[in-house]
Amino acid sequence: MGVLTTRVASALLQQIPRSVAEAHMHPAPWDVRYRMALPTASPWRQRLNHLLQGRELTLSVLANAAWQSADSMIRLLVSLFIGVWTARHLGAEDYGRLNYALALVAMVAGLPALGLQQLVIRDLVKEPERTPRVLGTVFALQAAGASVAFAIVVGLAFAQQQRDRLSTWLILVIGVQLLLVPLNLAEVWSHAQLKSRYSAMARNAAFLATSAVRLGLLLAAATVFSFAVAATLEAALTAGLLLWLRRRMGCPAFSQWRFDPELLRGLVRTGWPLTLAMIITTLQVQGDQVLLRTFCGNQQLGVYAAVRQIPLLLAAVFAATSNAALPALVQTYESNRPVFNARLLLGVQIGWIVGLAVAAGFALLPARLVIATFGPGYQESIRALRFCAISFPLIPLATACQPYYIVRDLRFFLFTRTFGNFVVWLAVAMPLIQRYSYVGAILAALACQLFSIALDMTSRETREIGRVKLHAMAFLYILPRQRQAALARLLGSHGLGPAGTRAGS
């Protein structure tokens, strides 16, 4: 694994041109200046020194991405183990009930987060002197959103109390997590400063501690209610550790945070498309479980939820990597457009290849292994897993393109595309789920992913990124000549000449 990682990193660095801006720009607050002190006795170390020369910002991005990806990878591996064991222990009925409560709370989780994370990171990078005002204003905004979200959860919980009293209590306990979201704002600041190791350590510590609690619950044959309490305990531990590490990270103290009404109006004015897009996306991602439980019952939802955690965890890994790279990409976009485009093309191509490899691995899993893993009550999960694998390659492909929309400030397009996706999903999901159960839910999600790529081709501002996705799916960017041609087209779409300067200047 270490040799493979070294080769992939070397290939990545070779494909990214050296940026004059990286070598000569004034040091940013987050910039980590690596000192090359490797011995030069070995030829491969000489080559590595040559590759790393003048790429300090690239190394900062890779280190930051490694911390966030490590956080997600740890969660991926441990969550799969704990999740599988929990599914076996609770059975499809209770496991479906637990996931219904988690999905219902997650549907309104976009209100506290407000979908502003990437927008706030961009503002903190561009205007670091406004950090106390940005943090104070966003904290107040998230606190208001968390209160509204919790009120909605309480209403939804009691609305279905007569049908399933246990589900009501599960929803209320898990819903407490929403009130803790504003306390995690220091994590956004750490991402903007490329100091993700602190937030990753906090989240990993809380996750591993609560995983140990879940293991104890499994050994003690605890009820489903205990697992709901454990989910809320993880959120509380994470918030507490982030608060404790806040000063160590260098984040401004709470006493320095200031609420700015003018900044609030600006955030609402510029961020409402992203906020609505976040809420709609959450409704779409979690809504299939709610519909599946409504139309088909807890048993079918339990079978689907057992394998559904795999694509969700993969999406979390790729989203963490994208967020880690965003601060440096914002600066690179402003200072050196060719370097930004080169990184974008390479990231999209690598994302598609990784997605295909993951999909092939899960699709080819032997049926006996799946049954032995989840238990005899989950025989239908074999079919669900193989249908899920079809959509795996599109997850990293979409995530790798997300920085393009952020740096070009395509908020309204993102909202329009998200709303269109939701309408298409709602139109196809209800009849498909009623007729085909969990297979219908998977096919509806796949239809939305393909529709999203088609929508990119309808706008002049996004048509080029749509072509990038299609070309990456055809493996065209593996060839240097095709990659250079795509770079030229991207520069042309920005109105830039070959050197990254404005045409005609």
Give the pLDDT confidence of 168-224 residue by residue, as tens digits. Answer: 999 999 999 999 888 887 777 777 776 767 777 888 888 889 999 999 999 998 999
Are 492 and 350 contacting, i.e. CB atoms less than 8 angstroms apart? Answer: no
Which of 180-189, 384-393, 407-416: highest mean pLDDT? 384-393
- The DSSP secondary structure of 18-80, one letter per residue, reads PPHHHHHSPPPTT---------SSSHHHHHHHHHHTT-HHHHHHHHHHHHHHHHHHHHHHHHH
Best mean pLDDT range from 300-304, 306-310, 343-347, 487-491: 300-304
Q: What is the mean pLDDT of residues 473-502?
A: 57
Average pLDDT over residues 21-43: 42
In degrees and rounded to multiples of 5, residue 496 shows phi and psi of -115, 155
The β-bridge partners of 502 are 496
- Bigger pLDDT: 456 vs 49: 456
| CA-angle at 242, arms to 69 and 237, nearest 5° | 95
Percent of the chain with pLDDT over 90: 10
Q: Which range is most confident: 341-345, 365-369, 445-449, 478-482?
A: 445-449
**For range 25-30, the mean pLDDT:** 40
Burial of 343 (0-12, 13-18, 19+ CB in 10 A): buried
> What letter represents residue 7's amino acid?
R
**pLDDT given at position 37:** 43
Least confident of 205-209, 212-216, 430-434, 476-480: 476-480
Residues 17-25 have a mean pLDDT of 39
Q: Which long-range contacts (CB under 8 A, 24 or more apart) does 487-492 make?
A: 487/338, 487/341, 487/342, 487/345, 489/464, 490/341, 490/344, 490/345, 490/464, 491/337, 491/338, 491/341
Q: What is the mean pLDDT of residues 368-384?
A: 80
Give the end-to-end CA distance of the chain in Å, rounded to a whole number.
48
pLDDT band at 72; cut points 50, 70, 90: low
| pLDDT(237) > 80 | yes
CA distance 213 to 226: 10
Mean per-residue pLDDT of the chain: 76
Q: Identify the band that residue 18 occupies on the pLDDT scale cut at 50, 70 and 90.
A: very low
Spatial contact of 453 and 469, defined as CB atoms under 8 Å apart: yes
Q: Are the beta carbons of 279 and 111 closer than 8 angstroms?
A: yes
Mean pLDDT of 435-447: 89
Structure tokens at 298: 């807890």
Kindly state the average pLDDT of the residues 2-19.
42
Does the model's pTM come out above 0.85?
no
Does 241 or 34 have the greater pLDDT score?
241
Q: How confident is the model at residue 20 (pLDDT cuts 50, 70, 90)?
A: very low
pLDDT at position 12 over 50: no
What are 106-130's pLDDT values in tens digits? 888 877 776 667 677 777 777 777 7
Give Dmax (Cα) for the chain.
75
Alpha-carbon gap, residue 489 to 496, rounded angstroms: 10
